[in-house]
Amino acid sequence: MSGLLFNPKTYNPTHLDEESARQLLALVDFFETKGKAKLKDEYHAAQWYTDFMEFIAKENLFSNVAIPAEVGALDEVKHPGAAWDLRRINDLNEILGFYSLDHWYAWQVTVLGLGPVWTSSNTKAKALVANLLKEGGIFGFGLSEQTHGADIYSTDMIVRPNPDGEGWLASGPKYYIGNGNEAARLAVFGKFSDDDPERPGEYVFFLADPKAPQYELQKNVVHGTMYVSAFELHDYPVTEDDILHTGKPAWDAALAAINVGKVNLGWASTGIAEHSFYEALDHAYNRVLFDKRVTDFTHVKRILADAYSRLIGMKLYAPRSADYFRSSTPEDRRFLLFNPITKMKVTMEGERVIDLLWDVIAARGFEKDTYFEQAVHHIRALPKLEGTVHVNLALVLKFLPQYLGAAAGFGSDHPEIHARMDHKDDEYLFKQGSASGLSQIGFHNPKPAFERFKDLPNVAIFIEQMTAFGQLIATQAPTKEQSDDLDFLLSIGQLFTLVVYAQLILESAALAIDDAPGGKRETSVSDMSGLTEAHIDRVFQVYVRDFSEYALSLAGQPTATNEQREGAQGLIRHAHRDQAAEDVFYSEVIAQADAYKMNP
């Protein structure tokens, strides 16, 4: 059986357009030529990656993938073939995560910074930013402030009328803003002052140039090759040409940019976990203790098989979620449930993979010459950025009633979404419109996805658990007091998230295994043609255990009623384990021991 992971040595992006394929192979070559020793030296030196900036500019990497067709078609831009095409963007995220999250971050905050520009109706600003991108510019997203954290309703960035002339003057601090040292422009979120004649107290997004004298770069708040800035604007002059959005659209633009950017975290997390998997497995396989390979200890076998299973799940969920995102329309906004799960669940799974691997390689994971040593640091960041796990769980819970309705046969009549491997401009991403109305979004019935694999023992057990969970919610719904108890709700959110996660993994698996009407998905950043039902049963062995773990946590909630406790305990099941199947699965894990090593 072939491995299902991304392997730079065999990466063959024939599924991409010629130019993107060339660029991504050049990106792999950039890191492999640098080699692991230099990458790690730079990581420890925490110096800005000038060579990476030169590479981006020389290869036109960001301008190739990050200008939507509509902007590329502007007379002032003239960028033929421009498209925001998630298929190649997803590959880019996974490759960057695989080598260095520090480098990925420059791309990620560029995406966030472009979001409010591409959603704006300010054509001058769009043309300016697109042309700066073509010159190799990077961008940033100035939303967060030190005092306000996740409370993005509050801002101390105030834009007041210019007392000496046209326009406005912006003053205020921003914190945790990526690329604030070198960005060609930053999209900055603030508020008009209460004495503004036209828009008193309204939100505003505007472009700021870090080279302006009124821009004070204070520091990099992290130790790393990436730059996470603290900056302050002092009477920064804002003209009509700099204004991207005002009022509610400014708020919607912030959320739309995050919707576009947040999924990138899942892909990056997968890349980190894959590289770590190769490195850890290689070490364990070649290490002999008490006359046996470390990979021959029974607990190590279980741990590595679990890590590989979790990775397969991550690699199936994210592309399926992307299918929905790429197919979204004003009538079909199901991605608003699926995207936060790519962001929150895939990244949490990435953390679990690293934790599992670290238990296997122990002290080696601290050594400064390993990729793993940076991975343990980076993997922690992803669940916490762009909305913490809690914020995303709270968001996901808004969809629970409609989802349960769909599972009971009262879902929406959406068209079936096939594997989206086409080269296209994903234009709806920047036409999302209002961020409200989430609890009205309808879903398709999730049951057929599970039915397709119901003969697999662990999927069958999972179906029992999920059915019992649906009954628990229907018969023992949270009381009024519990609806104010976020801790209680979040433990329901974990169970619900796992159900949706499992559903999309099964939909994705069917697309890789079956002759689906819209065509199989065999290739993305890695070759999925080797995926079998045996893989899926092993993956669900892990999720049956997870479901039981979350159920126990719900039963232990201090405010749970006796009936809820009993119902939650009733969700606990043992996973099925067949030793012969486990041995075959493990032989696939071990076969990857020498499959990839980064150039020294």
Ligand X SMILES: Cc1cc2nc3c(=O)[nH]c(=O)nc-3n(C[C@H](O)[C@H](O)[C@H](O)COP(=O)(O)OP(=O)(O)OC[C@H]3O[C@@H](n4cnc5c(N)ncnc54)[C@H](O)[C@@H]3O)c2cc1C
The contact set with ligand X (CB under 6 A) reads 109, 140-141, 143-144, 149-150, 176-178, 222, 228, 381, 385-386, 388, 390-391, 394, 486
Kindly state the tokens that stand for 541: 């062995």
292 beta partners:
289
227 vs 335 by CB, closer to ligand X: 227
99 vs 231 by CB, closer to ligand X: 231
User: CA-to-CA distance for 287 and 351, rounded, in angstroms?
Assistant: 24
> Strand 185-192 and strand 203-208: pairing?
antiparallel
User: CA-to-CA distance for 130 and 136, rounded, in angstroms?
Assistant: 10
Q: What are phi and psi of 486, to 5 degrees?
A: -60, -35
CB of 399 to ligand X, least distance (A): 16
Q: How buried is 179 (Cβ within 10 angstroms: 0-12 exposed, 13-18 middle, 19+ buried)?
A: buried
Helix then strand count (H, E) for the chain reads 20, 10
CB of 439 to ligand X, least distance (A): 16
User: CA-to-CA distance for 586 and 299, rounded, in angstroms?
Assistant: 12
Q: Where are the beta strands (DSSP E) in 294-382?
A: none
The string of DSSP codes covering 100-115 is -HHHHHHHHHHHHHHH
486 vs 593 by CB, closer to ligand X: 486
CB of 275 to ligand X, least distance (A): 20
Residue pair 432/256 in contact by the 8 Å Cβ criterion: yes
> Strand 168-178 and strand 158-161: pairing?
antiparallel
113 vs 411 by CB, closer to ligand X: 113
CB of 226 to ligand X, least distance (A): 7
Q: What are phi and psi of 351, to 5 degrees?
A: -60, -40
Q: How buried is 409 (Cβ within 10 angstroms: 0-12 exposed, 13-18 middle, 19+ buried)?
A: exposed
Q: Which residues of 304-323 are buried (b: 16+ CB within 10 A; e: fewer)?
A: bbbbbbbbbbbbbbbbbbbb
Cα torsion at 558, 439, 431, 61 (round to 10°)?
30
468 vs 492 by CB, closer to ligand X: 492
User: CA-to-CA distance for 406 and 573, rounded, in angstroms?
Assistant: 25
Residue pair 110/66 in contact by the 8 Å Cβ criterion: yes
User: CA-to-CA distance for 371 and 373, rounded, in angstroms?
Assistant: 5
Amino acid present at 5: L
177 vs 513 by CB, closer to ligand X: 177
User: CA-to-CA distance for 341 and 331, rounded, in angstroms?
Assistant: 21
User: CA-to-CA distance for 88 and 95, rounded, in angstroms?
Assistant: 11
Angle at 329 between CA 447 and CA 448, to 5 degrees: 10
Residue pair 419/518 in contact by the 8 Å Cβ criterion: yes
CB of 188 to ligand X, least distance (A): 9
CB of 491 to ligand X, least distance (A): 13
227 vs 450 by CB, closer to ligand X: 227
Q: How buried is 257 (Cβ within 10 angstroms: 0-12 exposed, 13-18 middle, 19+ buried)?
A: buried
Return the number of other C-beta atoms located less than 10 Å from residue 131's C-beta: 18
CB of 386 to ligand X, least distance (A): 5
CB of 314 to ligand X, least distance (A): 21
> Strand 288-289 and strand 292-293: pairing?
antiparallel
CB of 121 to ligand X, least distance (A): 23
CB of 334 to ligand X, least distance (A): 22
CB of 190 to ligand X, least distance (A): 12
251 vs 285 by CB, closer to ligand X: 251
26 vs 397 by CB, closer to ligand X: 397
CB of 178 to ligand X, least distance (A): 3
CB of 177 to ligand X, least distance (A): 5
**Cα R_g (the chain), whole angstroms:** 24
- Tell me the residue number closest to ligand X, measured at CB: 149
CB of 566 to ligand X, least distance (A): 28
CB of 137 to ligand X, least distance (A): 16
1 vs 150 by CB, closer to ligand X: 150
The string of DSSP codes covering 230-283 is EEEEEEEEE-GGGEEEESHHHHHHHHHHHHHHHHHHHHHHHHHHHHHHHHHHHH
User: CA-to-CA distance for 403 and 282, rounded, in angstroms?
Assistant: 42
